[in-house]
Amino acid sequence: MMSTSLTIVIFIIILALIFDYINGFHDSANSIATIVSTQVLKPRQAVLWAAFFNFIAFLLFDAQVAKTIGTGIINPSIVDNTLLISTLSGAIIWNLITWWFGLPSSSSHALIGGLIGSGLMKGDLRFLSGKEL
């Protein structure tokens, strides 16, 4: 039988994979909309282009956005399982709402907003990264 901690970790990993999947169809569509609508590329070419560069981007660029999200927005000392679940859930829900209504939005910004909101709801002003009050 699995421990409660392991179950929670697996649940967080599943939520992160769901967010990543939704990020793929949410932001990729936004990134190729212009080149498809202007007929620079055909839809199939644009999807292949986006898939290729989304896959190899980590090889070509630094992970500065990931570093900022991980340590530059909220104080890492307040991060716990509840905060991670809340952050991911909020970002997933926001992405699905904006996708359903056809509103352009950024999955990264949804994740950052979820992180800030979860930090605020934790009720601790130490949530700000680098700010000890």
- Output the pTM of the full model: 0.76
Domain-embedded: residue 36: yes
Domain-embedded: residue 53: yes
For 30-42, write each residue's pLDDT tens digit.
Answer: 778 888 889 999 9
| Number of structural domains found in the chain | 1
Q: Look at the block and give the residue holding tokens 């905060």.
A: 83
Q: Can you tell me the distance from the alpha carbon of 41 to that of 18, in angstroms, rounded to the nearest whole number?
A: 29
Domain-embedded: residue 33: yes
Domain-embedded: residue 66: yes
- Phi (first) and psi of residue 73, to 5 degrees: -110, -55
Domain-embedded: residue 86: yes
Residue 74, SS3 per DSSP: strand
What residue numbers bound the domain in which 55 lies? 4-127
Q: Can you tell me the distance from the alpha carbon of 88 to that of 81, in angstroms, rounded to the nearest whole number?
A: 11
Domain-embedded: residue 133: no
CB 91 within 8 A of CB 107: yes
Query: pLDDT band for position 125 (50/70/90)?
Result: low
Dihedral sign, Cα of residue 27, residue 33, residue 35, residue 36: positive
